[in-house]
A = this chain, B = another copy of it.
Amino acid sequence: MWQPDRLSKQPLYQQIADHLERRISFGEFPPSSLLPSERKLAEKLGVNRSTIVLAYAELRSLGVIESHSGSGTRVSKHKWGLTPRHTPNWHRYVEGGHFLPNLPFLRRIREALEQNRSLIDFASGELGADISPVAEINQLMSQDYYTEYLGYDNPQGFLPLRKSLVTYLDTYRNIPTTESSILITSGSQQSLYLITQCLLAPGDAVAIEDPSYYYSLPMFQSAGIRLFRLPVDRQGINPEDVRTLYKKHRIKMVFINPNHQNPSGVVLSPERQVELLNVSSELGLPIVEDDPFSLTTYNGIPTPPLKSIDTFGSVLYIGSMSKIAASGLRVGWMVAPRSVIERLADARQQMDYGLSVVPQRVAAQFLNSPLFEPHLERLRMRIQSKRDLLVTSLRKELGDMVSFDIPEGGLHLWCRIKPEVNESRLLEECIRRGVIYVPGSVYGSDSDYVRFTFARAREEDIVPGIAKFADALNTVLNDKI
Contact = CB atoms under 8 A, between A and B. Distances in A.
A198 interface: yes
B190 A351 contact: yes
B142 A126 contact: no
B134 A138 contact: no
A124 B98 CA distance: 32
Contacts of A199: 93-94, 96-97
A362 interface: yes
A20 B337 CA distance: 26
Interface in A335-383: 337, 339-340, 343, 346-347, 349-359, 362
A407 to B, nearest CB: 21
Interface stretch (A79-87, A231-239, A297-305): A79-87
Contacts of A187: 352-353
A11 interface: no
Contacts of A155: 110
A150 B137 contact: yes
A284 B359 contact: no
A155 B101 CA distance: 13
A94 B142 contact: no
A109 B150 CA distance: 20
Contact of A9 (B22, B197, B201, B358): B201
Interface string A324-335: 001111110000
A355 B132 CA distance: 18
Given A145-B138, A189-B350, A281-B86, A98 B202 contact: yes
A227 to B, nearest CB: 15
A312 B86 CA distance: 7
A186 B353 contact: yes
A43 interface: no
A237 to B, nearest CB: 18
A329 B346 contact: no
Contacts of A145: 138, 141-142, 145
Contact of A286 (B93, B285, B340): B93
B340 A93 contact: yes
Interface string A274-291: 000010011111100000
Contacts of A22: 283
A114 interface: yes
A146 interface: yes
A116 interface: no
Contacts of A328: 149-153, 356-358
B107 A132 contact: no
A148 interface: yes
Given A85-B282, A219-B351, A330-B355, A197 B97 contact: yes
Contacts of A18: 250
B326 A150 contact: yes
A282 B217 CA distance: 38
Given A87-B314, A331-B356, A283 B150 contact: no
Given A8-B203, A350-B189, A150 B356 contact: no
A182 to B, nearest CB: 16
Contacts of A248: none
B150 A327 contact: yes
B339 A352 contact: no
Given A134-B149, A286-B93, A85 B353 contact: no
Contacts of A357: 328
5 contacts: A85-B282, A94-B198, A124-B151, A134-B149, A351-B351
